[in-house]
Amino acid sequence: MSQAPVEWQPLIEAALQARQRAYAPYSRYAVGAALLTADGAIVTGANVENAVYPLGICAERVAVARAVHEGHTRFRALVVATANGGTPCGACRQTLREFAAELPILIVDGQGRVVLETDLTELLPYAFSPTDLPQG
């Protein structure tokens, strides 16, 4: 049984709204993410920076953490909104791979214009996944 097509516009709007809540005083690079769960919920996240740079967290991982906290571990789609259409970092790609091997991803700019339509297998080829770990 296949999933219904993704309706991207509500996800784009949610990602743009999430971007407005980013805490990015150092880079001034606000990022918003909207994750569509398997049951149709939209969970958002925004990047949160820290004066100790490695302690910041990306919008995509905030959205994943919120979704898992709310009981969602299966995802259908992701929209990432940045000023210039930047793609998720490697850590975010690997985190997303934990939950969805072929996740459709839409990258939009600050006005909601589509910059890239892709999926996680394209962004993270040959990913390490739970299936690579010993079972049992």
What topology is assigned to 8-121 in CATH?
A: Cytidine Deaminase; domain 2 (3.40.140)
Domain ranges of the chain: 8-121
Mention every residue, 6+ apart, whose C-beta is less than 8 A from residue 113.
none
CB-based contacts of 26-31 (< 8 A; 24+ apart in sequence): 26/51, 26/53, 29/82, 29/83, 29/86, 30/82, 30/83, 31/58, 31/59, 31/60, 31/80, 31/81, 31/82, 31/86
49 in active site: no
Structure confidence by residue, pLDDT tens digits, 56-82: 999 999 999 999 999 999 999 999 999
What mean pLDDT do residues 33-58 have? 97
Question: Quick one: pLDDT band at residue 23, thresholds 50, 70, 90?
Answer: very high
- Whether 1 has a pLDDT exceeding 70, the answer reads no
Question: Quick one: pLDDT band at residue 3, thresholds 50, 70, 90?
Answer: low
Q: Which of 7, 13, 60, 122 is catalytic?
A: 60
**Structure confidence at residue 7 (pLDDT):** 95
